[in-house]
């Protein structure tokens, strides 16, 4: 279907755009971070030379420029250690770290981490075996910049998810309008010929009261009325009623038995007690008819259909099993999508409509319980006995 293809195309386009944005963002950030790391390394090399000059200065050395360089570092965390590993000085470690006795162990631990990361510069002094180590860390700005692309990526993902959600909602609303409009128009178009047929059956009953075909004609007219009623309820708020589930299923079986080959055996497996649940019987019959018709088609007019009804207290479970051609697991979810069909002349709407009726109105579940190619398929319906009124869209 065209709308489904549009969704797939737009979805794919959004994913591709998101991936391109994410890759471009990560690459750009990586290049910026690498450049900033090089710049900070150069700054620390200059700062280390300034520390060397300060340590080697005498009374004739002008240290104004040295102090200006040292005091100019206001962003890069630095810890200066002597050859014994004692802290000489530190800068930009945050307000929690001050060069007092209480914070010295923590500063040493930070310096150890910097050394393990390879972020250290050794400065040899004039005296033999005397040196200092400049341990430094990345600046706060550089750390924030390293995290930024992942935040940006998260924003892009959220944007794509919101866009997809809005797209699906829009497409679903459009699809719902088509469903409701088509259903209402179908019910409206069926109304006139059904009324005419009802009148003609009354005329025939008066003219030929003993005709054997007349009861069958009346059954078909009532059948058409029930179909029109189903279509008219799409998009409305039909009132669910407490019904005998076994009677509802039996009516469907009786209808299917009259319209299928004698080579198709339909059997029911009911519990002995009465099973009641709130539902719109005419719509639920529609679901069962679709499942049974699909089963008959899958068996090519020869085989067996078994319906198993179970009462789970607050829920009823119905399974429809056939001995047809079955399907691969890859089709388990696809069979409920509009337009999916394996029949040459099928529209692929029966199971989609069944899923809508079961899930969106009866608040239940319908799914393929099991299937094996060449052996058959079992569909399972789970319905809560209590039902809150809602609109079928």
**Over the stretch 202-225, which tens digit does the pLDDT of each residue have?**
888 888 877 778 887 887 887 787
Per-residue pLDDT for 57 more than 90? no
Mean pLDDT lowest among 65-79, 252-266, 343-357: 343-357
Q: Give the domain 2-143 fold.
A: Beta-Lactamase (3.30.450)
Q: Report the distance separating Cα 291 and Cα 84, nearest Å.
A: 84
Per-residue pLDDT for 388 more than 80? no
The values of phi and psi at residue 214, to 5°, are -60, -45
Average pLDDT of 51-80? 79
* 21-30 LR contacts (CB < 8 Å, sep 24+): 21/156, 22/153, 22/156, 25/149, 25/152, 25/153, 25/156, 26/149, 26/153, 28/149, 29/145, 29/146, 29/148, 29/149, 30/149
Confidence of residue 377 (pLDDT cuts 50, 70, 90): very high
Share of the chain above pLDDT 70, in %: 83
Domain 238-384 belongs in CATH node 3.30.565.10: yes
* Whether the domain at 2-143 and the domain at 238-384 fall into the same CATH topology: no
Whole-model pTM: value is 0.49
pLDDT tens-digit series, residues 98-121: 555 567 888 888 888 888 888 888
Q: Report the distance separating Cα 179 and Cα 176, nearest Å.
A: 5
For residues 244, 249, 250, 254, the Cα torsion angle rounded to the nearest 10 degrees is: 150
| Number of other residues whose CB lies within 10 A of the CB of residue 338 | 19
The SS3 call for residue 340 is coil
CA distances, 169 to each of 15, 165, 176, 194 (Å): 18, 6, 10, 37
The values of phi and psi at residue 117, to 5°, are -80, 0
The SS3 call for residue 120 is strand
Ordered by start, the domain boundaries in the chain are 2-143, 238-384
Confidence of residue 381 (pLDDT cuts 50, 70, 90): very high
């Amino acid at each position: 279907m065209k709308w489904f293809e549009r969704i797939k195309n737009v979805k794919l386009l959004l994913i591709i755009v998101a991936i391109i944005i994410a890759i471009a963002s990560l690459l750009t950030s990586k290049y910026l971070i690498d450049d900033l790391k090089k710049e900070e390394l150069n700054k620390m090399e200059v700062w280390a030379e300034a520390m060397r000059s300060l340590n080697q200065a005498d009374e004739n050395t002008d240290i104004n420029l040295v102090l200006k360089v040292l005091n100019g570092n206001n962003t890069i965390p630095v810890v200066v250690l002597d050859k014994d590993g004692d802290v000489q000085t530190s800068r930009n470690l945050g307000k929690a770290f001050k060069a007092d006795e209480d914070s010295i162990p923590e500063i040493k631990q930070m310096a150890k981490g910097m050394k393990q990361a390879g972020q250290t510069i050794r400065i040899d002094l004039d005296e033999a075996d005397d040196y200092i180590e400049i341990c430094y860390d990345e600046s706060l700005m550089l750390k924030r910049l390293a995290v930024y692309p992942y935040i940006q990526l998260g924003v892009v993902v959220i944007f794509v998810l919101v866009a997809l959600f809005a797209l699906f909602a829009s497409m679903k609303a459009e699809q719902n309008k088509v469903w409701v409009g088509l259903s209402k128009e179908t019910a409206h178009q069926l109304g006139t010929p059904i009324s005419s047929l009802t009148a003609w059956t009354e005329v025939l009953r008066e003219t030929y009261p003993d005709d054997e075909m007349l009861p069958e004609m009346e059954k078909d007219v009532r059948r058409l009325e029930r179909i029109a009623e189903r279509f008219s309820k799409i998009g409305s708020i039909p009132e669910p009623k407490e019904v005998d589930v076994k009677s509802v299923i039996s009516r469907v079986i009786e209808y299917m038995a009259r319209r299928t080959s004698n080579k198709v055996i339909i059997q029911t497996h009911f519990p002995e007690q009465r099973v009641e649940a709130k539902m719109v019987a005419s719509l639920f019959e529609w679901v069962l008819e679709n499942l049974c018709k699909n089963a008959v088609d899958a068996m090519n007019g020869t085989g067996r259909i078994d319906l198993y009804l179970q009462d789970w207290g607050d829920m009823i479970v119905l399974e429809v099993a056939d001995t047809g051609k079955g399907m691969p697991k890859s089709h388990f979810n696809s069979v409920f999508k509009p337009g999916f069909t394996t029949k040459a002349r099928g529209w692929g709407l029966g199971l989609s409509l069944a899923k809508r009726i079961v899930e969106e109105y009866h608040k239940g579940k319908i799914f393929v319980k099991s299937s094996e190619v060449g052996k058959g398929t079992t569909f399972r319906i789970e319905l809560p006995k209590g039902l809150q009124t809602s609109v079928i869209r």
